[in-house]
Structure 1
């Protein structure tokens, strides 16, 4: 059931009465339908969908087609915990990914921990960086030769990123040379997938405007399937991973037309 700690009460105080009631209802019943809430609150279905979007961005529910469900344990892992996981592999991947960034590039970076680590390897270059990650923006803020464009939207606290329709609408006006992004799962049949719908929608929009796609995935992502599908594996131009991935997997990627690249340990 919903944990009404002081921190959660403070978070809920930023929402209107209807949105607070929706949060209580989804925690109690487990799931809600847009059509039912539209009738109950006497507002349009679009208004309810916007409520869901705002509440999901704060980690209070998960949207599904036609409704919303209660947040279960398997949700987006906060950045401090994600950053501590497989750190050696992520360092390898981040360093190798940065080697593909050239002066003059317009690159996009998602809100993953691997791209956050990647920032230290691209400092000193002359770039334009488009991102929805507050962490990436802060890391690059003092770089005089790097122009950072932070995509606006709702704050998703667990990933310290900006998501939602605002972000998606802004992205469509840009052009990107190279998009560096991670995911929750890489499966040869299911494709590339993500647990959080808002993150998935922002990434899909960035994928659509990018010339080259660089998927960054450590060994633990392979064989995993998550809720929201981002793209086919074959949509990626490069998949950068670590040395724990079997060589046969790299060969299979190459046979599919995806350049599989293994990061190297730093001395």
Structure 2
């Protein structure tokens, strides 16, 4: 699948710092014309640049990322996100009131808790649409203005409505997870909502795939000590595991 190949090629270039076109052709078993087309698309993401005979990671590549459309994020690392949602689903208990974030890592959690009688609070239009198929799931939709990039409702009224609820468990996503900057998000619209959810929730769960580690976005909405559990698809780098342990954050992968 081309989208997965693009992600893999970008990650490879960022990890190696630079690569020749011939090297990419050999590694991914594709033609030079295909590599050139892939590179042209990756250039639009802003993390790499062309050099003579190949490509090179920019100096700040992978350090700060911007929010992409939900449809793009939903395609990226799709299998990994499904595994994360399945693991997260095992944490939900009968009678829980849970918050499900708008992030693409969280949306499919609905599929894995459909058999559990619980209340979902969300500002995600996609979560709400999926929940309609499961009679045991009660749904409380937060108000606000629709933001199409994330298919979510945002605004002052969203935050104000959150303040009246007590949440048993929050399932949240992040644009990046960094040892220095903590859990970050690229959207100013979502920042205040995430902060309020952390304030109102008894148990806070973070759901991120492996590609989010080592990256930061513009807004820090939480730090390691703010979370109780991190759910991911593979074991994070050793320094992240140490940080999680120091802050008593349970790790599931």
CA offset at residue 244 of structure 1? Answer: 5.4
> After the TM superposition, which residues 152-167 of structure 1 pair with which residues of structure 2 at under 5 Å, given as runs?
152-167=143-158
CA distance in 2, matches of 1:117, 1:247: 28
Confirm whether residue 142 of structure 1 aligns to residue 133 of structure 2.
yes
Secondary structure of the residue aligned to 1:113 is coil
Match of 1:78 among 69, 74, 92: 69
Residue 109 in structure 1 maps to residue 100 in structure 2: yes
What is the aligned counterpart of 2:115 among 124, 139, 149? 124
Match of 1:192 in 2: 183
Q: Which residue, out of 218, 229, 236, partners 1:238?
A: 229
- Where does residue 249 of structure 1 map in the other structure? 240
Aligned length: 189
Cα RMSD of the aligned pairs, angstroms, is 1.3
- Give the Cα–Cα distance (whole angstroms) in 2 for the partners of residues 220 and 105 of structure 1: 30
- C-alpha displacement at 1:245, in angstroms? 2.5
Shift of 1:253: 1.2
Residue deviations 1:193-215, cap 9 Å, x none? 10001111111111110000000
Deviation of 1:247 (Å): 5.0
TM-score normalized with structure 1 length: 0.68
Q: Name stretches of at least 5 consecutive residues in structure 1 with no aligned partner.
A: 1-73, 263-267
Structure 1 residue aligned with 2:208: 217
Match of 1:35 in 2: none
Contact 2:105 2:209 in 1 (8 A): no
Structure 2 stretches lacking a partner, 5+ long: 1-64
